[in-house]
Amino acid sequence: MNIFSIDSGFYRFLEKFTNFFLLNLLWFLMCIPIITIFPATAAMFGVVRQWVQKKDSGVFKSFFVYFKENFKQSFLLGLLWFVFALLFYFNINISLQMSGIAKIIMVSSLLFICLFFVMTTIYLFPVMVHYKMRWTLIIKNSFLFSISQLWVTIRCILILLLTVLISYVIPISSIILWSIGGYLIYALCDKSFKKIELLVQDNV
């Protein structure tokens, strides 16, 4: 069999690799202005959502459609999340200047809140591209999903940490690893969405 035949496993692998590489490249380039990190990430999750749901879509066209479609909402959420992150940073620094039991209580409380912040962030983009809703509902539902689907949330966080670790240890892997990580995270979140939607339908 010709390995370059359109029906061959090698050809399908090469096609998937190319799509992940192109998506990763687009995401990276659109993140360079910094302020577009959230819209670019929303666009990446929009594309991998199509792939998870077995919908054939071109990388470039789909990416920029989702980038434009989610720009305003994701940009505002990005600003809000940046403010939250700064507040955590400054408050933890202030807490570390304390001493005794007050320091332990403050630092522990902030780290606990920060954990929920990270958990909510994991679901933020999948919820944004899967459901069409106001930004307040995106945050609310992301938080609820992160709590109700805790095992999925933990696995998504592990995927994110592994992606960061591998990218740090093997920098060249960054050319494709982030889009693969996004795909795996969305695939897990998609199962959670379907599970909850079935429960809602059964209770109607």
Q: What are phi and psi of 45, to 5 degrees?
A: -70, -30
The predicted model gives 148-157 an average pLDDT of 94
Could you tell me the pLDDT band of residue 14, with boundaries at 50, 70 and 90? confident
* pTM for this prediction: 0.89
| Burial zone of 192 (CB within 10 Å; 0-12 exposed, 13-18 middle, 19+ buried) | buried
Bin 27: left if φ > 0, else alpha if -120 < ψ < 50, else beta.
Answer: alpha
Kindly tell me if the per-residue pLDDT of 3 is higher than 80. no
Three-state SS string over 5-35 comes to: CCCCHHHHHHHHHHHHHHHHHHHHHHHCCCC
Question: pLDDT tens-digit profile of 38-81?
Answer: 999 999 999 999 999 888 777 998 999 999 999 999 999 999 99
Domain ranges of the chain: 9-203
Question: pLDDT tens-digit profile of 44-54?
Answer: 999 999 999 88
- Name the nearest CA neighbour of 190 among 58, 80, 53: 53
CA distances for 109 relative to 7, 116, 174, angstroms: 56, 11, 34
